Chains A and B, each alone.
With several copies, the nearest count.
Chain A
Amino acid sequence: MKPFEIVEEPIDVKQYMDYVLHPSAGAVTVFTGNVREWTHGVRTLYLSYEAYVPMAEKKMAEIGAEMEEKWPGVRVAIAHRIGELQISDIAVVIAVSSPHRKAAYEANEYAIDRIKEVVPIWKKEIWEDGEEWIGAQKKYPSKGVE
Chain B
Amino acid sequence: MITLKYFARLRDVAGKGEETLDREELTVSELLDWAEQTYPGFGADNVQVAVNEDYALKEDTIRSGDVCAFIPPVSGG
Contacts and interface: CB of A to CB of B under 8 A. Distances in A.
Choose among A33, A50, A123, A133 the residue with the greatest number of B CB atoms under 10 Å from its CB.
A133
Interface in A87-142: 91-92, 112, 115-124, 133-137, 139-140
Contact of B74 (A33, A92, A118): A118
Contact of B72 (A91, A92, A116, A133): A133
A75 interface: no
Contacts, number: 83
Given A55-B53, A137-B72, A139-B46, A92 B5 contact: no
- Where chain A touches its partner, the secondary structure class is mixed
**Tier of interface size on chain A:** 20 to 34
Interface string B32-54: 00000000000100100010011
Contacts of A80: 76-77
B5 A119 contact: no
Contacts of B8: 50, 122, 124, 133, 135
Interface string B56-77: 0000000000000101111111
* Leading 10 A-B pairs by shortest Cβ distance: A121-B76, A135-B73, A122-B8, A136-B73, A55-B53, A133-B9, A134-B75, A137-B46, A123-B75, A133-B8
Interface of A: 33, 49-52, 54-56, 58, 80, 91-92, 112, 115-124, 133-137, 139-140
6 contacts: A50-B11, A52-B7, A119-B74, A122-B7, A133-B72, A134-B75
